[in-house]
Amino acid sequence: MIVALIIACEVGFWVLLAAGLALRYLAKKPRLGAAVLLCEPLMELVLLVVTTLDLKNGAEPDWKHGLAALYIGYTVAYGHYTITWLDGHAAYRLAGGPKPAGPGYGRARAAHEWKLWVRTVIAAAVALTLLQVAIWYVGDAGDVSSLRGWQSGALRVVGIHALVAAAYTIWPSKAPAVPDDAGERPLAPTGRRR
């Protein structure tokens, strides 16, 4: 049941996101669209409550509970960021707003990657906290090795993401080269010469 609920929350996230953006930009109802977007955190709350009740009712802690904790951590850290990013692109594509700026190159890109890493740390901290609370809740009555495994996995993700951000710092990306004659290309002939 937990896995089905995680899938339902993920699908619900994208459905609510699409509905909220459609209401904001296609139906020209920004307040209603914002209200729909504000319903996003309710799904994670439902997942948290159901997972807690599942453990309370005697379910053996396993990978499903760990996955739920990581999913909640991810949406806490990256949910608003994802909504804001997609909102900027929807405003550009559907409402004639300014083109969203990309992460850039060089130092700007490295700074962007470190900011994303901070989000990953927040996601891991939320997941680790939820997993630790579940471990304390279950106590000696059950096998919590699966939950501890998810804690280790969350820490590994933080480490791997730090390596990615460090790579952008050590080897900064460069902007693509623009040819000098980009604006001076001859027009292609429209017909055959005789």
Q: What is the pLDDT along the chain (194 residues), one digit of tens a residue?
A: 778 888 888 898 889 999 999 999 999 998 999 899 888 888 888 888 888 888 888 788 888 889 999 999 999 999 999 999 999 999 999 888 999 988 889 999 999 999 999 999 999 999 999 999 988 988 877 788 999 999 999 999 999 999 999 999 999 988 888 776 555 555 555 554 44
CA distance 130 to 150: 11
pTM exceeds 0.85 for this model:
no
Alpha helices in 57-105 (DSSP H): 63-95
Helix axes 40-56, 106-138, angle to 10 degrees: 30
Q: Are 90 and 82 in contact (CB under 8 A)?
A: no
8 A C-beta contact, residue 138 and residue 148: no
Which region holds residue 61: left if phi is over 0, alpha if psi is between -120 and 50, else beta?
beta
Q: 79 is written with which tokens?
A: 């949910």
